[in-house]
Amino acid sequence: MNLPKIESYGEYKSGNYGLNSLQVSFPNGLSLFFSYTTIMAFRGREGLKVRENEWSNTTGKHLNWIDGGDKKSRLAGAEFEKLLNAELEYYGLGAQQ
Protein backbone atom coordinates (compact mmCIF):
# COMPACT_ATOMS: atom_id res chain seq x y z
CA MET A 1 0.00 0.00 0.00
CA ASN A 2 1.36 3.44 -0.95
CA LEU A 3 0.33 5.56 2.01
CA PRO A 4 1.95 8.89 2.82
CA LYS A 5 4.46 9.10 5.66
CA ILE A 6 3.46 11.54 8.39
CA GLU A 7 6.07 12.85 10.82
CA SER A 8 7.05 15.94 12.76
CA TYR A 9 9.76 18.13 11.25
CA GLY A 10 10.20 20.21 14.40
CA GLU A 11 12.55 20.16 17.32
CA TYR A 12 9.94 20.10 20.04
CA LYS A 13 11.00 18.36 23.25
CA SER A 14 7.50 16.91 23.71
CA GLY A 15 5.71 14.86 21.07
CA ASN A 16 2.48 16.63 21.95
CA TYR A 17 3.68 19.84 20.28
CA GLY A 18 5.00 17.95 17.26
CA LEU A 19 1.44 17.69 16.00
CA ASN A 20 1.70 21.40 15.15
CA SER A 21 4.63 20.89 12.76
CA LEU A 22 3.82 17.95 10.51
CA GLN A 23 5.34 16.83 7.23
CA VAL A 24 3.28 14.59 4.96
CA SER A 25 5.47 12.83 2.38
CA PHE A 26 3.78 11.00 -0.48
CA PRO A 27 5.38 8.06 -2.32
CA ASN A 28 5.33 10.12 -5.55
CA GLY A 29 7.92 12.57 -4.11
CA LEU A 30 5.61 15.39 -2.97
CA SER A 31 6.00 16.59 0.63
CA LEU A 32 3.70 19.07 2.37
CA PHE A 33 4.80 20.93 5.51
CA PHE A 34 2.09 22.10 7.89
CA SER A 35 2.15 24.67 10.66
CA TYR A 36 -0.92 23.72 12.64
CA THR A 37 -3.49 23.06 9.86
CA THR A 38 -1.99 25.33 7.17
CA ILE A 39 0.39 24.21 4.43
CA MET A 40 3.39 26.52 4.81
CA ALA A 41 5.84 24.80 2.46
CA PHE A 42 6.08 21.98 -0.03
CA ARG A 43 8.79 20.04 -1.80
CA GLY A 44 7.80 19.06 -5.30
CA ARG A 45 9.04 18.96 -8.86
CA GLU A 46 11.00 22.20 -8.55
CA GLY A 47 12.39 21.76 -5.06
CA LEU A 48 11.40 23.41 -1.80
CA LYS A 49 8.91 26.30 -1.82
CA VAL A 50 8.25 28.12 1.47
CA ARG A 51 5.65 30.78 2.21
CA GLU A 52 6.64 33.95 4.03
CA ASN A 53 5.43 34.27 7.62
CA GLU A 54 2.17 36.18 7.94
CA TRP A 55 1.27 34.67 11.29
CA SER A 56 3.09 34.26 14.60
CA ASN A 57 6.51 33.70 16.12
CA THR A 58 5.67 30.01 16.39
CA THR A 59 4.97 29.77 12.66
CA GLY A 60 8.24 31.62 12.07
CA LYS A 61 10.02 28.96 14.11
CA HIS A 62 8.38 26.26 11.98
CA LEU A 63 9.47 28.00 8.78
CA ASN A 64 13.04 28.26 10.06
CA TRP A 65 13.05 24.52 10.75
CA ILE A 66 11.90 23.89 7.17
CA ASP A 67 14.26 26.20 5.27
CA GLY A 68 17.03 26.88 7.77
CA GLY A 69 16.03 30.54 8.08
CA ASP A 70 16.36 31.40 4.37
CA LYS A 71 13.86 34.27 4.50
CA LYS A 72 15.01 35.75 1.17
CA SER A 73 13.71 32.71 -0.72
CA ARG A 74 10.26 32.72 0.87
CA LEU A 75 7.30 33.50 -1.33
CA ALA A 76 4.47 35.98 -0.85
CA GLY A 77 1.13 34.38 -0.01
CA ALA A 78 -0.54 34.72 -3.41
CA GLU A 79 2.48 33.42 -5.31
CA PHE A 80 2.90 30.49 -2.89
CA GLU A 81 -0.80 29.56 -3.18
CA LYS A 82 -0.60 29.62 -6.98
CA LEU A 83 2.44 27.30 -7.03
CA LEU A 84 0.98 25.03 -4.35
CA ASN A 85 -2.33 24.65 -6.20
CA ALA A 86 -0.51 23.85 -9.45
CA GLU A 87 1.59 21.22 -7.65
CA LEU A 88 -1.44 19.65 -5.98
CA GLU A 89 -3.25 19.51 -9.33
CA TYR A 90 -0.20 17.92 -10.98
CA TYR A 91 -0.16 15.15 -8.40
CA GLY A 92 -3.94 14.66 -8.67
CA LEU A 93 -4.68 15.96 -5.19
CA GLY A 94 -6.92 18.85 -6.23
CA ALA A 95 -6.44 22.49 -5.41
CA GLN A 96 -6.38 23.79 -1.86
CA GLN A 97 -9.48 25.75 -0.90
Note the pLDDT tens digit of each residue in 8-29.
887 765 555 667 889 999 999 9
CA 33 – CA 60 distance, rounded (Å): 13
Whether 96 shows a pLDDT value over 90: the answer reads no
- The whole-model pTM stands at 0.88
34-47, pLDDT tens digit by residue? 999 999 999 999 99
**Domain layout of the chain by residue ranges:** 5-90
Angle, alpha carbons 57-31-89 (nearest 5°): 110
CA 60 – CA 87 distance, rounded (Å): 23
